[in-house]
Every structure is written in C-alpha cells, then in structure tokens.
Structure 1
Amino acid sequence: MTSFNTPLRSLILAVGVAGALVSLPATAAQADTSQASTAQQATTQNAEHSVCACFEVTVVGEGPAVLLIPGLASSGDVWHSTVEALQADYQLHVFTLAGFGGVMPLAHEAWEHGFLPTQQEAILRYIRQQQLNKPVVIGHSLGGYLALALAATAPEAIGGAINIDGLPALGALFAQSTASDSARQNAAPANFDPMAMAQSMANNESWHQLIENDMFRSDDMTAGRVMGELMQADLRPQLGNIRVPVLTLGALQHGAPYSTPEQVQANYENQLANAPAQYHSFAFAADSKHFIMADAPEWLTQQITQFLHSHAVTEE
C-alpha cells in the first residue's frame, strides 16, 4: 500500500473539519481470531468486466447473520467491541473493503464501473453465495452509505440496516457548509497533521495513535477516488424506496468546533428526509465524534442490540 499524498491529505482534512463525516481508519484492538473463520476474498462479476476481488471477510460467532462494513481507509478491526458484544448471539461477517486496511485495491478494470456500485453488487453477491437469510447490514461512514444504498436499492435482500455516521449526499453537505461558512474554507492547515485529524475524529485518546498509524495502511489512490465518488453520490432521491427497518446513528460532536450539535442533527434530518418515517429512525450520540465505536461503545452496542432484537433477525 502506498501512503497518502499531500494533496489528498489536505482534501480529507478539509472535508473532515467541515463536519462532512468522512471516515478515517482506526483499530481499537485485534478481533479474537481464535473464533473467526479464515478470511474470505469475495469476488463479483460485472456484466462487461472480469472478476475482481472487492473485500475480505472474517466470520465470527454463530446465529443470525449481521454484516459489519467499516468506513473509508478503515479495517474491520474498528468493530472489535461490537464483535465482542454480539458474537455469542450472531454470526458476524466483518468486512475490510478493497484498498483499505492492507487489503489489495480493486483491479484496474473494476474502476470503470465505480467503487460504490461495484461494492454494492459484490455485497449482494456475497449474501447470495453465502446463502444468508436477509442479514442486517451495519456500516460506519462509507459503510453507512453502502448500508443505506442497499436498503434503498435492494430491500428484498436484507433484513435491515444501521447507518453509523454516514450520509446519503456527502458532497451536497460539504458544498452547503463551505458556501455558508467562510471559516470552514480556511480550516485546513497548509501542512497536513495526521494527529490533528485523529483528534478530530475521536475523543478517546487511546484511538488517536491507532487512527494515525492505520491511515498509512491504505492505498492513497483508492482513498482519493472513493472520496471523489462519495462527493458526487446522492442517494436522497432513492431513499423513498426503503422498505426495511433502518436506523441512523449520528455523532453530534463530529462537527465541533465548526458546527453545533443542533446543526449536525439538522443536517442528518434534512439529508434523510426522504426516508419513509415508518421504516427509518434516528438516534444521536451527544458526546461522540465520528468514531462512535471509540467514544460511546456501550451506547453503540445498546442501539445495535435493541435494533436487532426489535426486528427479529432470524437464521435460515
């Protein structure tokens, strides 16, 4: 993997400081691999492209299936506390997407189809190949976007989705923020400071060095191109198609000091206004930055378990 180049670092910092909810990597601890299956390399076949490796998956625990998808430049290790809490009752499929966390990037030809649609198709193919019965998809940031996309475009394939601090139209929020607040336009320093970025993403100091270190395990070309796709993507018109339970968990401190908690919550409610109220609900972590699993792990686990219990995830 190559390290992030300076222009890309500046872009990521600018987006992060603007409160645009871009994920950076973090590793709270290594998952207990003694209970995990051997990592699986998932593939997908596009209509006009060759087979490509899209992610690696580690399977932990037994029971109804739950998919855990991390964010941009994150590895599956960000789900450590979630795995510990759920593995006794659920079969957890812990993803690391191509190009992130040491996983090889997508093949060149796969990029013609786009990273986001390729991953959506690959996840659906994985569900079919593994014969999973309507698993719940839980995603953080980029993973949250993918969870929303699956709920909106393939609700028949999943049992529900939890979107953790992700947005359906990241670029729209960023454009709105920079247009309305000139202070944010000058928020990024001339020289990228990875520790400052880590601190902006988590209050929990034990995660800061881990976030900084893991940033360099990911492929800079992948991160830059995926960032570009996220900035152009807009799921809002499709949210009305959601027909499965969806929970969005927002981090109200993520925009600090440039956005108030009230502004962050309003941004979420505005961006997800098209999601049918009978299927979609919100909950907000008042004292958490972007990595809710770092700042409010008990609260996050409680929200996830309540959702899973309420919506009766079942095995085949």
Structure 2
Amino acid sequence: MAAPVAVDGRVAISTYGDGPDVLLIPGLASSEHVWDRTVSHLKGRYRVHVVQVFGFAGAPPQANREGALIVPVTDAIHRYLVGRHLAPVSVIGHSLGGLMGMELALHHPSDVRRLMIVDALPFFGAIFGARDVQSVVGRATSLRDSMLHETRAAYVAGAERMVPSLVKTTGPEADVVKAASIASDQRVVARAMYEDMTTDLADDVSKIRQPTVLLYPWDKDSGMDTTMVDRFYHAQYATYPNVTFARIDGSRHFIMIDQPEVFEAQVDAFLRK
C-alpha cells in the first residue's frame, strides 16, 4: 500500500496492488474500509485507488467543513487522476459514491473508462416519491437542519438505528459501517445528505456514454416484490443510454458486504468488458 494522497483538503486516496487502474468511492458517512474485501479481491490483478472523503468515518472535515461537497470532491478526484496520468480508469461507486461516479463521467468524461454504480440513483429524491428537486427540497431542508442541531448523542443513536436497514449481515463488516457513521462529522453528513437529495441528474445521465453497470439490492424483508424493485430502478435510469442492470438478491444497501461473492463476480465481469 502506498501512503494516502490528500487532494485539496477534500479526499485522501490510498493505492494497493498493480495493474489496470480501478477507483473505489464509498458512500455517505462511509469509510474506505467498506471496500477492504473488494481491495483484497482485486489488488493482485489491478491497481486499486480507494477514496476516503474528508468529514466521513473520522477523517477530519478540512475543506468539506463548509459549503458544497459533491462537485468539489468529484473535482478533487479528477485532479488526482489527471495529475498522476491515470485517466481513464474503471470507477466503482457506492451510494453517494455512485452519484459522484456519475458526476465524474458527466463533467470529466475522459477520466472514466467504465462505471459501476452500486445502489445509487440519478435523483435520490425519487425514493420519497418526488418528481423534481422542488418537491423534495422541503423534506431535505428539514432533515438537514434536524441533524445539524441534534445533540451528538442523538446523532449516534440515529446512526446505530439506521445500520440494520442498510446491512443485512451481522459481524465485523457491519460494525465497520456503524463505526464509520458514528465517527463521521454530523455537520458534513447533514449537508452531504441535503446535496444528495437535491441533486437531479435524471436528464443529464442521457449524456453519459461510458459502459455502465447498475447493481441494486432486493431482500425478501424489504416489503416490495422483485417486480416493483425492478420497475423502480429501471424507471430511474430510463434516459441512461448504455446501462446494464443487475439485481442482487438477499442484500440490502451495502451489497459488497451482504453478498460479497456475488458482488465480486459482478466486478470481475465488469472489469473484463
């Protein structure tokens, strides 16, 4: 492992292995360590670059302490790739990291060879039934402000309650998710959540030309049947011209933790394209 490289006070990026370049971007309030098994799987054949967003998982907020996060973080990743003459790379992004992957493909298309999106949406507001940003901004503002003003104890309790809905698996890897969320700066998380909810790329993704794979989860305890889930995700990516869909059964949001063997097989197929 090479020493992590900090970029613009936005991210630190660690590198493992050697070979064709693969970039892994974690999601909201997540640690780079959610990718540990993926890194172990890939590093014998690929050079893997793992992003840690500042302000998440105990990393100091630095430049992410105030203002916008999604585009500045994406731009920092771009500068890392270009500055080290790595582009284009294969990008795998989970959740908010998937949205950043889409932003990177849109605004810095020469950086991205291919893109895998792990349970993310071009417009997260669709989860709440919103048709556009205007119809979700009130809810997003309320959630942001509530998190900004709640006590640290309340934030930690909320993070602990949330994890079982995101990870089906119990054990050390689920503990990594919980520990990262608890250790995250709640101000950074609150603002990033607001940005995620109010960013709408549903029309813009029609401009993405790179081959893309979307992995999305389904679990029998979700309250939805597979037909409903399939229809929802396909509808959200209706304008995306070059996307392949793969539903991963028996999983919640953290597919790489709940179904690691299936996830790794999908990653291998994606990287062979």
TM-score (normalizing by structure 2): 0.85
**How far apart in 2 are the matches of 1:73 and 1:193?**
13
Question: Superposition pairs for residues 106-125 of structure 1, below 5 Å?
Answer: 106-107=62-63, 111-112=66-67, 114-125=68-79
1:60-81 CA distances to partner (integer Å, 9 max, x unpaired)? 0001111000000111100011
**How far apart in 2 are the matches of 1:41 and 1:111?**
18
Is 1:222 aligned to residue 188 of structure 2? Answer: yes
Question: Superposition pairs for residues 112-191 of structure 1, below 5 Å?
Answer: 112=67, 114-176=68-130
Query: Which of 219, 231, 238 in structure 2 is aligned with 1:273?
Result: 238
The residue aligned with 2:249 is: 286
Query: Which of 245, 260, 267 in structure 2 is aligned with 1:297?
Result: 260
Determine helix, strand or coil for the equivalent of 2:117. Answer: strand
Larger RCO of the pair (alpha carbons < 8 Å, separation 6+): 1
* CA-atom RMSD in angstroms: 2.0
Query: Which of 34, 37, 41 in structure 1 is aligned with 2:6?
Result: 41
Determine helix, strand or coil for the equivalent of 1:72. Answer: coil
Is 1:69 aligned to residue 25 of structure 2? Answer: yes
**How far apart in 1 are the matches of 2:13 and 2:108?**
21
**How far apart in 2 are the matches of 1:76 and 1:224?**
19
**How far apart in 2 are the matches of 1:205 and 1:67?**
27
Structure 1 residue 103: Cα displacement: 1.3
1:127-152 CA distances to partner (integer Å, 9 max, x unpaired)? 10111031011100000111122223
> Tell me, which stretches of 5 or more residues in structure 1 are unaligned?
1-35, 44-52, 180-190, 311-316
C-alpha contact 2:24 2:51 (8 A) present in aligned 1: yes
Determine helix, strand or coil for the equivalent of 2:250. Answer: coil
Name whichever structure is richer in helix by fraction: 2
Determine helix, strand or coil for the equivalent of 2:246. Answer: strand
1:15-58 CA distances to partner (integer Å, 9 max, x unpaired)? xxxxxxxxxxxxxxxxxxxxx11111112xxxxxxxxx111111
Instruction: Give the letter for the 1:68 counterpart.
Output: L
**How far apart in 1 are the matches of 2:195 and 2:159?**
23
Determine helix, strand or coil for the equivalent of 1:235. Answer: coil
**How far apart in 1 are the matches of 2:250 and 2:123?**
24
**How far apart in 1 are the matches of 2:21 and 2:234?**
29
> Tell me, which stretches of 5 or more residues in structure 2 are unaligned?
136-153
1:97-117 CA distances to partner (integer Å, 9 max, x unpaired)? 010112111427x844x2111
C-alpha contact 1:62 1:89 (8 A) present in aligned 2: yes
The residue aligned with 2:217 is: 251
Q: Which moved more, 1:194-203 or 1:68-77?
A: 194-203
CA 1:195 to 1:261, structure 2 compared with 1: closer, same or farther past 3 Å?
farther
1:184-223 CA distances to partner (integer Å, 9 max, x unpaired)? xxxxxxx855444221111111144333332211100000
Query: Which of 257, 262, 265 in structure 1 is aligned with 2:227?
Result: 262
Instruction: Give the letter for the 1:150 counterpart.
Output: L
TM-score (normalizing by structure 1): 0.74
C-alpha contact 2:31 2:177 (8 A) present in aligned 1: no
Identity, % of aligned pairs?
A: 32
**How far apart in 1 are the matches of 2:174 and 2:17?**
29
Instruction: Give the letter for the 2:14 counterpart.
Output: T
Determine helix, strand or coil for the equivalent of 1:118. Answer: helix
Structure 1 residue 171: Cα displacement: 1.2
Query: Which of 31, 35, 44 in structure 2 is aligned with 1:88?
Result: 44
**How far apart in 2 are the matches of 1:247 and 1:268?**
12
C-alpha contact 1:75 1:100 (8 A) present in aligned 2: yes
- Paired residues, what number? 249
